[in-house]
């Protein structure tokens, strides 16, 4: 009965906190297919974390619905299954690690979710390999860097063999190398294992690597498209309280100075290509 193609389907999704005047998530319609990588952006308070919790069945919609691999989050009896299909990584690595040894931490979810003991060893090894943390299996989590801790948190979820990985600003507390480690891990899981990714981030450079971007504002989807489609609307993105990726910003500034550079440059490589193209012309 699980829908393997459509991993997340949200229809007219709304959520209001008790006694709040307005919906924190307000009429969201979205779909994440197998192997897709979606980035969610939006200024503080725009509803991203509330949406993430709805996608993971931590919250039940006050209106509309979310299907995770075809399973309706409104059905209490499916919550357990849904959390195995869609795992969530949060912002603070220290709040997610519960055990005093890395491999025990990865085992924790497996034990709680009734995975047969005979399979647990294999699942731990597989998950630690997937996040490139095999050498740290016997280490104490408090000895690890922030990026390593987040990779352990991701391993705990990967061990459940999920179809969707939801990350809510999971790189926000990391230094640049920790962020890079986590992003590489997430991209590898997405590309090689076909795990769908929903990445909530305030780093535009991370969003630029997604297949699609969704920008939230006041609980609604204000803008959506490929990173190129979204970020080329520089003024619109800024009006929503966000930056554009650094190279898009540079291209925009150069265009304002009369340089006929493409308006949808996203990466350093693309900028180099544009500059070469322009200098060949003169």
CA distance 65 to 123: 32
> Interface residues for ligand ADP in 5-24 (CB under 6 A)?
17, 20, 24
Judged by CB under 6 A, the stretch of 26-34, 42-50, 84-92, 140-148 that binds ligand ADP is: 42-50
Query: Nearest 5°: phi and psi at 210?
Result: -85, 165
> Contacts with ligand ADP: how many residues (CB under 6 A)?
11
| Among 46, 49, 148, 209, contact with Mg ion (rule: CB under 5 A) | 49
Q: Is 41 helix (H, G, I), strand (E, B) or coil?
A: strand
Is 171 a residue that touches ligand ADP (CB under 6 A)? Answer: no
CB closer to ligand ADP, 48 vs 83 = 48
| Closest to 138 in 3D by CA, of 108, 109, 102, 105 | 102
Euclidean distance between CA atoms 261 and 250, whole angstroms: 10
Nearer to ligand ADP among residue 47 and residue 93 (C-beta): 47
> Which C-beta is closer to Mg ion: that of 43 or that of 180?
43
For residue 19, CA distances in Å to 15, 62, 138, 217, 278 come to 12, 13, 47, 20, 57
Using CB under 5 A as the criterion, what x/- string covers residues 6-45 for binding Mg ion? ----------------------------------------
d(CA 279, CA 271): 12
- Smallest distance from ligand ADP to CB 55, Å: 12
Residues 49-78: x where in contact with ligand ADP by CB under 6 A, - otherwise, as a string: xx----------------------------
Q: Which two tokens stand for residue 172?
A: 């926000």
Residue of 7, 13, 28, 42 that binds ligand ADP (CB under 6 A)? 42
Smallest separation, CB 50 to ligand ADP (Å): 3
Binding region for ligand ADP (CB under 6 A) out of 44-52, 73-81, 187-195, 205-213: 44-52
CA angle at 84 for the pair 224 and 86, rounded to the nearest 5°: 5
Q: Is 46 in the site for ligand ADP (CB under 6 A)?
A: yes
Which residue lies nearer to ligand ADP by CB, 131 or 200? 200
In the complex, the smallest distance separating the C-beta of residue 18 from ligand ADP, rounded to whole angstroms, is 7
CB 120 within 8 A of CB 91: no
Q: Three-class SS of residue 245?
A: coil
Sequence-ordered strand ranges (E) for 50-152: 63-68, 71-72, 86-89
Q: How far apart are CA 88 and CA 163, in angstroms?
A: 11
Beta bridge partners of residue 8, listed in sequence order: 32, 68
Q: Which is nearer to ligand ADP, 49 or 201 (CB)?
A: 49
Helix (H) or strand (E) holding 188: helix 176-193
Q: Can you give the binding site for ligand ADP, defined by CB under 6 A? A: 17, 20, 24, 42, 44-50
Residues that bind Mg ion (CB under 5 A): 48-49
């Amino acid at each position: 009965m699980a829908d393997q193609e459509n991993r997340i389907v949200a229809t007219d999704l709304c959520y209001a906190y008790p006694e709040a005047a307005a919906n924190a998530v307000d009429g969201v319609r979205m779909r994440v297919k197998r192997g897709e990588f979606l980035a969610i952006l939006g200024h503080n308070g725009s509803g991203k974390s509330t949406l993430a919790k709805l996608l993971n069945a931590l919250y039940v919609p006050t209106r509309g619905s979310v299907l995770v691999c075809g399973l309706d989050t409104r059905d209490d009896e499916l919550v357990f299954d849904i959390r195995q299909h869609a795992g969530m990584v949060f912002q603070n690595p220290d709040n997610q690690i519960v055990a005093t040894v890395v491999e025990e931490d990865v085992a924790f979810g497996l034990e709680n979710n009734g995975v047969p003991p005979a399979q647990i060893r294999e699942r731990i090894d597989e998950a630690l390999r997937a996040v490139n943390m095999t050498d740290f299996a016997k280490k104490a989590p408090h000895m690890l860097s922030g990026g390593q801790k987040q990779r352990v948190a991701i391993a705990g979820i990967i061990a459940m063999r999920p179809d969707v990985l939801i990350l809510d600003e999971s790189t926000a507390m990391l230094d640049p190398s920790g962020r890079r480690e986590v992003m590489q891990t997430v991209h590898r899981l997405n590309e090689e294992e076909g795990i769908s990714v929903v990445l909530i981030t305030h780093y535009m450079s991370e969003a630029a690597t997604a297949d699609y971007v969704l920008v939230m504002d006041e609980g609604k989807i204000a803008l959506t498209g490929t990173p190129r489609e979204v970020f080329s609307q520089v003024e619109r993105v800024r009006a929503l309280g966000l930056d554009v990726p650094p190279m898009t910003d540079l291209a925009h500034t150069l265009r304002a100075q009369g340089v006929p550079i493409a308006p949808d440059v996203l990466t350093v490589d693309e900028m180099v290509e544009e500059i070469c193209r322009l200098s060949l012309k003169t």
